[in-house]
Amino acid sequence: MMLRIKNLLMQVKDEQEKKRLAELAVLQSQIKPHFLYNTLFSIKQLCEMGENKDASKMVSALSSFYRISINKGSEIIPISLEIEHIRNYLYIQQMRYGEDFIYEVDIEDDVMPCNIVKLTLQPLVENAIYHGMKQSRGQGLIRIWGHFVNQEVRLYVEDSGNGMSEEELKAINLCLNEEADCDSVLGFGIGNVNKRLKLNYGPSYGLMYENRLGGGIIVTVKIPVYR
Protein backbone atom coordinates (compact mmCIF):
# COMPACT_ATOMS: atom_id res chain seq x y z
CA MET A 1 0.00 0.00 0.00
CA MET A 2 2.75 2.44 0.96
CA LEU A 3 4.69 1.55 -2.18
CA ARG A 4 1.61 2.26 -4.30
CA ILE A 5 1.14 5.67 -2.64
CA LYS A 6 4.81 6.45 -3.15
CA ASN A 7 4.57 5.52 -6.84
CA LEU A 8 1.45 7.67 -7.27
CA LEU A 9 3.17 10.64 -5.64
CA MET A 10 6.17 10.19 -7.92
CA GLN A 11 3.84 10.02 -10.92
CA VAL A 12 2.08 13.26 -9.90
CA LYS A 13 5.43 14.97 -9.35
CA ASP A 14 6.62 13.82 -12.77
CA GLU A 15 3.46 15.12 -14.45
CA GLN A 16 3.82 18.49 -12.73
CA GLU A 17 7.43 18.75 -13.87
CA LYS A 18 6.43 17.95 -17.45
CA LYS A 19 3.76 20.66 -17.32
CA ARG A 20 6.25 23.17 -15.91
CA LEU A 21 8.83 22.44 -18.60
CA ALA A 22 6.23 22.56 -21.37
CA GLU A 23 4.92 25.91 -20.10
CA LEU A 24 8.44 27.32 -19.84
CA ALA A 25 9.22 26.18 -23.37
CA VAL A 26 6.15 27.84 -24.85
CA LEU A 27 6.77 31.08 -22.96
CA GLN A 28 10.32 31.17 -24.30
CA SER A 29 9.04 30.54 -27.81
CA GLN A 30 6.71 33.54 -27.53
CA ILE A 31 9.61 35.96 -27.09
CA LYS A 32 10.51 36.00 -30.78
CA PRO A 33 12.97 38.77 -31.63
CA HIS A 34 12.13 38.77 -35.35
CA PHE A 35 8.40 39.28 -34.67
CA LEU A 36 9.14 42.10 -32.22
CA TYR A 37 11.71 43.79 -34.47
CA ASN A 38 9.49 43.57 -37.55
CA THR A 39 6.52 44.98 -35.66
CA LEU A 40 8.56 47.85 -34.23
CA PHE A 41 9.89 48.60 -37.73
CA SER A 42 6.32 48.70 -39.06
CA ILE A 43 5.37 51.12 -36.27
CA LYS A 44 8.37 53.29 -37.16
CA GLN A 45 7.27 53.38 -40.80
CA LEU A 46 3.73 54.37 -39.82
CA CYS A 47 5.10 57.22 -37.70
CA GLU A 48 7.31 58.43 -40.56
CA MET A 49 4.28 58.45 -42.89
CA GLY A 50 2.30 60.46 -40.36
CA GLU A 51 -0.09 57.57 -39.68
CA ASN A 52 0.02 58.22 -35.95
CA LYS A 53 -3.40 56.76 -35.20
CA ASP A 54 -2.51 53.42 -36.81
CA ALA A 55 0.89 53.46 -35.09
CA SER A 56 -0.80 54.00 -31.72
CA LYS A 57 -3.23 51.10 -32.34
CA MET A 58 -0.33 48.85 -33.29
CA VAL A 59 1.58 49.76 -30.12
CA SER A 60 -1.51 48.96 -28.03
CA ALA A 61 -1.95 45.61 -29.80
CA LEU A 62 1.72 44.72 -29.31
CA SER A 63 1.58 45.67 -25.64
CA SER A 64 -1.53 43.55 -25.03
CA PHE A 65 -0.06 40.65 -27.00
CA TYR A 66 3.04 40.44 -24.82
CA ARG A 67 1.10 41.14 -21.62
CA ILE A 68 -0.82 37.92 -22.13
CA SER A 69 2.09 35.98 -23.69
CA ILE A 70 4.72 36.41 -21.00
CA ASN A 71 2.52 36.86 -17.96
CA LYS A 72 3.70 34.36 -15.32
CA GLY A 73 0.20 33.91 -13.96
CA SER A 74 -2.01 30.88 -14.39
CA GLU A 75 -1.37 28.43 -17.19
CA ILE A 76 -5.17 28.24 -17.61
CA ILE A 77 -7.09 31.30 -18.84
CA PRO A 78 -10.62 32.03 -20.14
CA ILE A 79 -11.12 31.48 -23.86
CA SER A 80 -12.19 35.13 -24.06
CA LEU A 81 -8.66 36.18 -23.05
CA GLU A 82 -7.12 33.70 -25.49
CA ILE A 83 -9.24 35.25 -28.25
CA GLU A 84 -8.15 38.76 -27.23
CA HIS A 85 -4.56 37.57 -27.58
CA ILE A 86 -5.28 36.18 -31.05
CA ARG A 87 -7.07 39.34 -32.19
CA ASN A 88 -4.03 41.41 -31.20
CA TYR A 89 -1.71 39.04 -33.07
CA LEU A 90 -3.87 39.04 -36.20
CA TYR A 91 -4.24 42.83 -36.13
CA ILE A 92 -0.45 43.24 -36.03
CA GLN A 93 0.11 40.73 -38.82
CA GLN A 94 -2.58 42.23 -41.02
CA MET A 95 -1.09 45.70 -40.56
CA ARG A 96 2.26 44.27 -41.69
CA TYR A 97 1.01 42.18 -44.60
CA GLY A 98 -1.71 44.50 -45.84
CA GLU A 99 -4.32 42.79 -47.99
CA ASP A 100 -2.52 39.44 -48.27
CA PHE A 101 -5.16 37.92 -46.01
CA ILE A 102 -8.35 38.65 -44.13
CA TYR A 103 -9.52 36.99 -40.93
CA GLU A 104 -12.74 36.12 -39.14
CA VAL A 105 -13.28 35.26 -35.48
CA ASP A 106 -16.59 33.63 -34.61
CA ILE A 107 -16.73 32.01 -31.16
CA GLU A 108 -20.11 31.24 -29.57
CA ASP A 109 -20.75 33.50 -26.58
CA ASP A 110 -21.33 30.57 -24.20
CA VAL A 111 -17.88 29.21 -25.02
CA MET A 112 -16.02 32.39 -24.06
CA PRO A 113 -16.06 31.88 -20.23
CA CYS A 114 -14.68 28.34 -20.54
CA ASN A 115 -11.03 27.79 -19.70
CA ILE A 116 -8.18 26.79 -21.98
CA VAL A 117 -4.44 26.24 -21.71
CA LYS A 118 -2.84 29.63 -22.35
CA LEU A 119 -1.21 30.23 -25.76
CA THR A 120 -2.96 27.35 -27.47
CA LEU A 121 -4.23 29.18 -30.55
CA GLN A 122 -1.39 31.57 -31.44
CA PRO A 123 1.03 28.92 -32.78
CA LEU A 124 -1.81 27.48 -34.90
CA VAL A 125 -2.66 30.90 -36.34
CA GLU A 126 1.01 31.67 -36.94
CA ASN A 127 1.36 28.40 -38.83
CA ALA A 128 -1.73 29.24 -40.90
CA ILE A 129 -0.25 32.62 -41.86
CA TYR A 130 3.27 31.52 -42.70
CA HIS A 131 2.39 28.23 -44.40
CA GLY A 132 -1.26 28.37 -45.42
CA MET A 133 -1.25 31.95 -46.69
CA LYS A 134 1.97 31.53 -48.67
CA GLN A 135 0.16 28.89 -50.70
CA SER A 136 -2.95 30.99 -51.32
CA ARG A 137 -3.63 32.48 -54.71
CA GLY A 138 -4.89 35.98 -54.18
CA GLN A 139 -6.18 37.09 -50.81
CA GLY A 140 -6.10 34.36 -48.16
CA LEU A 141 -8.58 33.70 -45.38
CA ILE A 142 -7.96 32.69 -41.78
CA ARG A 143 -11.01 31.79 -39.72
CA ILE A 144 -11.15 31.01 -36.00
CA TRP A 145 -14.43 29.65 -34.68
CA GLY A 146 -15.71 27.52 -31.86
CA HIS A 147 -18.71 25.85 -30.24
CA PHE A 148 -19.77 23.06 -27.88
CA VAL A 149 -19.92 19.44 -29.00
CA ASN A 150 -21.63 17.40 -26.27
CA GLN A 151 -19.49 17.95 -23.14
CA GLU A 152 -16.50 19.32 -25.04
CA VAL A 153 -15.30 22.61 -26.44
CA ARG A 154 -14.17 22.53 -30.06
CA LEU A 155 -12.12 25.40 -31.44
CA TYR A 156 -11.05 25.54 -35.07
CA VAL A 157 -8.31 27.38 -36.95
CA GLU A 158 -8.71 27.15 -40.71
CA ASP A 159 -6.86 28.65 -43.66
CA SER A 160 -7.49 28.80 -47.40
CA GLY A 161 -4.12 27.45 -48.52
CA ASN A 162 -3.54 24.33 -50.63
CA GLY A 163 -4.01 21.80 -47.85
CA MET A 164 -2.04 18.55 -47.52
CA SER A 165 -1.95 15.11 -49.05
CA GLU A 166 -3.80 12.30 -47.29
CA GLU A 167 -0.45 10.73 -46.45
CA GLU A 168 0.76 13.91 -44.75
CA LEU A 169 -2.47 14.26 -42.76
CA LYS A 170 -2.33 10.63 -41.67
CA ALA A 171 1.28 11.00 -40.49
CA ILE A 172 0.49 14.20 -38.58
CA ASN A 173 -2.61 12.85 -36.82
CA LEU A 174 -0.86 9.59 -35.98
CA CYS A 175 1.94 11.56 -34.37
CA LEU A 176 -0.52 13.74 -32.44
CA ASN A 177 -2.59 10.77 -31.22
CA GLU A 178 0.40 8.75 -30.10
CA GLU A 179 1.78 11.69 -28.10
CA ALA A 180 5.07 11.22 -29.93
CA ASP A 181 7.65 13.92 -30.47
CA CYS A 182 5.91 15.86 -33.26
CA ASP A 183 8.43 18.69 -33.52
CA SER A 184 10.14 17.19 -36.58
CA VAL A 185 6.77 16.74 -38.32
CA LEU A 186 4.90 19.90 -37.26
CA GLY A 187 7.52 22.22 -35.83
CA PHE A 188 8.14 23.01 -32.18
CA GLY A 189 5.14 25.27 -31.57
CA ILE A 190 2.43 22.87 -32.75
CA GLY A 191 3.94 19.83 -31.07
CA ASN A 192 4.23 21.73 -27.81
CA VAL A 193 0.59 22.85 -27.94
CA ASN A 194 -0.59 19.26 -28.36
CA LYS A 195 1.69 18.09 -25.55
CA ARG A 196 0.41 20.75 -23.14
CA LEU A 197 -3.24 19.99 -23.93
CA LYS A 198 -2.74 16.29 -23.22
CA LEU A 199 -0.77 16.95 -20.04
CA ASN A 200 -3.53 19.19 -18.70
CA TYR A 201 -6.66 17.40 -19.96
CA GLY A 202 -5.69 13.80 -20.71
CA PRO A 203 -4.79 11.69 -23.76
CA SER A 204 -8.21 11.90 -25.42
CA TYR A 205 -7.83 15.67 -25.95
CA GLY A 206 -5.54 17.72 -28.16
CA LEU A 207 -5.22 18.62 -31.85
CA MET A 208 -6.50 17.08 -35.08
CA TYR A 209 -5.71 18.08 -38.68
CA GLU A 210 -7.97 17.74 -41.72
CA ASN A 211 -8.26 19.25 -45.17
CA ARG A 212 -10.70 22.10 -45.64
CA LEU A 213 -13.39 21.83 -48.32
CA GLY A 214 -12.30 24.14 -51.12
CA GLY A 215 -8.64 24.08 -50.12
CA GLY A 216 -6.62 24.67 -46.98
CA ILE A 217 -6.36 23.11 -43.55
CA ILE A 218 -8.60 22.95 -40.49
CA VAL A 219 -6.94 22.36 -37.13
CA THR A 220 -9.38 21.26 -34.42
CA VAL A 221 -8.64 21.93 -30.75
CA LYS A 222 -10.57 19.50 -28.56
CA ILE A 223 -10.78 20.22 -24.81
CA PRO A 224 -13.22 19.46 -21.96
CA VAL A 225 -15.65 22.08 -20.64
CA TYR A 226 -14.14 23.84 -17.61
CA ARG A 227 -15.33 27.16 -16.25
206-211 and 217-224 as β-strands: parallel, antiparallel, unpaired?
A: antiparallel
> How sure is the predictor about 106, in pLDDT bands with cuts at 50, 70 and 90?
very high
> How sure is the predictor about 36, in pLDDT bands with cuts at 50, 70 and 90?
confident
> What is the full DSSP assignment across 142-160?
EEEEEEEETTEEEEEEEE-
- Please report, in angstroms and rounded to a whole number, the separation of the first and last CA atoms in the chain: 35
Give mean pLDDT, residues 113-140.
Answer: 87
CATH of domain 1-22+33-224: 3.30.565.10
Q: What are phi and psi of 214, to 5 degrees?
A: 95, -5
pLDDT, tens digit, 9 for 90 and up, residues 118-128: 999 999 999 89
> How sure is the predictor about 80, in pLDDT bands with cuts at 50, 70 and 90?
very high
> How sure is the predictor about 204, in pLDDT bands with cuts at 50, 70 and 90?
very high
Percent of all residues in the chain with a pLDDT value above 70, rounded to a whole number: 79
Residue spans of the domains in the chain: they are 1-22+33-224
pLDDT, tens digit, 9 for 90 and up, residues 165-188: 999 999 889 888 876 566 666 665
pLDDT at 107 over 60: yes
Predicted local confidence at residue 43, as pLDDT: 93
